[in-house]
Amino acid sequence: MASEKIANTLSVREMIDEKMTKDKKGGSLQKAVPFLLFIIAAVSVLTTIGIVLTLIFETILFFQSVSFKEFLTAEKWYPFSETHASYGILPLISGTLRVTAIAVIVAVPIGLAAAIYLSEYASDRARRIIKPIFEVLAGIPTIVYGYFALTFVTPVLREIIPGLAVFNALSPGIVIGIMITPMIASLSEDAMSSVPNAMREGALALGSTKIEVAFKVVLPAAISGVVASIVLAISRAIGETMIVSVAGGSSPNLGWNVTESIQTMTAYIVQVSQGDVGYGTTIYYSIYAVGMTLFVFTLIMNFIAQYVSRRFREEY
């Protein structure tokens, strides 16, 4: 009996020692994981800081050759002219805003309609089938969208609008609208689905119809998420590159004519980045000035989205 007690005591001690060893190893791992996560987060932050600093420094070099006033107020963008080069950003901003406005006109009604249907009318089975299929549009490469706009949408539009140029603002604007529709639909549907069913049931009990519940109860209650999704989609449209590069053209024009060739800020960056411009020239540094302008636009849109989301958020 004594020997059995000694054996049991030794086995218990071995188990305790083994447990302490495992705890020490687990403690080391637990200490290492937060440090590893910090390193990963720091890489993303430092990368963002590096991008911003690069834009700032290279933009400063650009403004050593071109005045800030000319950049913001001149109405012509002719950087490749050997005699009378002009660096007015307004034509590029005009082209960007034209395409974005068309995209918003296309995407917002379709996206909100799809979100309302998925949230209020579709069955669970239909939602599980339709939503993933609908979101496939967001995964299509933008270069495919660009050639779709050039080879399909533009010929169709030219049959309807005879004066439409081969490269124009209308065709890429429509296709960008199709591209950002899933973003609006998905985020808006998530916001609408988070509205408590008690609000719907209360409105129905008071005699409201299904469509009245959707537009007068659910949509106002989810307005913060809906507006935030629209603002984020606008930001995505402003930064779109390949669609406007392929189907929009390379003619910076100031105005609101959507039937003529245009050039957006992103399309100009692509044009200069093809390698035909010498390093250290004013044209080379101009892509950083344009990129900085685009960065400011996108940053403002993201701030607006965050403000709207906080300002109109409803908690239930």
Distances (CA, A) of 260 to 12, 174, 302: 85, 15, 30
Residue 230 has pLDDT above 80, yes or no: yes
Element containing residue 244 per DSSP (H, E):
helix 242-247
């650009």: which residue's tokens? 62
Residue ranges of the domains in the chain? 2-64, 77-311
pLDDT digits (tens, 9 = 90+) for 60-108: 888 888 888 888 888 888 887 777 778 888 888 988 999 999 999 999 9
pLDDT digits (tens, 9 = 90+) for 151-188: 999 999 988 888 888 888 899 999 999 999 988 988 88
Q: Which residue from 109, 312, 111, 102 is spatially nearest to 223, judged by alpha carbons? A: 312
Residue 279 has pLDDT above 80, yes or no: no
3-state secondary structure of 86: strand
CB 62 within 8 A of CB 289: yes
Please state the separation of Cα 236 from the chain's center in Å: 3
Distances (CA, A) of 235 to 39, 80, 95, 172, 239: 29, 29, 15, 16, 6
Q: Is 140 left (phi over 0), alpha (psi -120 to 50) or beta?
A: beta
Average predicted confidence (pLDDT) for the chain: 82
pTM for the structure as a whole: 0.81
CB 103 within 8 A of CB 173: yes
Q: Which residues contact 313 (CB under 8 A, 6 or more apart)?
A: 224
Cα–Cα distance measured from residue 97 to residue 199, given in angstroms and rounded to the nearest whole number:
39
Topology, domain 77-311: MetI-like fold (1.10.3720)
Q: What is the end-to-end Cα distance of the chain in Å, rounded?
A: 66
The neighbouring-strand residues paired with 78 are: 86
Q: Which two tokens stand for residue 100?
A: 């974005």
